[in-house]
Structure 1
Amino acid sequence: MIATMLLMLMAGTFVVARRLETHNPGWGYLAAFAEAAMVGGLADWFAVTALFRRPLGLPIPHTAIIPANKDRIADSMAGFLRANFLTPQVLARRLHGLDAAGMLGTYLTTPSSGPEPGLEPGTGRIGEGVSSLLADVLATLDPDKVGGPLKALLSRQIERIDLAPLLGQVLTGMMADGRHMPVIEGLLRRAGTLLEAHEDALRTLIHERAHTLMRWTRLDERLANALLDALYALLAETMVNPDHPLRRKIDETLHKLAHDLIHDPEMGARIARMKADALANPAFAAWLDGLWERSRTGLIALLRKPGSGGGAEWSGSLAALGHALQDDMRLKAMVNRFTRRTVAGLVSRYGGQIVQVVSETVRRWDAGTVTRRIESAVGRDLQFIRINGTLVGGLVGLALHGLEQLVT
Structure 2
Amino acid sequence: MTNAKAVRTPVDGVPAALIRMRRIAAALLVVMAALFLLARSQAGGHPAWGFVQAFAEAAMVGGLADWFAVTALFRHPLGLPIPHTAIIPRNKDRIGDTLALFLRDNFLTPAVVARRMHRADVAAAAGRFLADPPERGRLWRGASRLIADMLEALDQERLGGMAKTALAERLRELDIAPMLGQALDAAMAEGRHAPILDGIIRWADKTLESNEHLVRDMVHARAGAVLRWTGLDETLANKIIDGLHKLIADMADDPAHPLRSKAEEGLVRLAEDLRFDPAMRERVFAIKAEILDNPAVERWWMGVWERSRAGLLKMVRSPDAAFAGQFGEALRQLGETLQADRRLRRTINRFARRAVAGAAADYGDGIVRLVSDTVRGWDTRTVTDRLENAVGRDLQYIRINGTLVGGLVGLAIHVVDVVL
TM-score, scaled to structure 2? 0.46
Quick check: which has more Rg, 1 or 2? 2
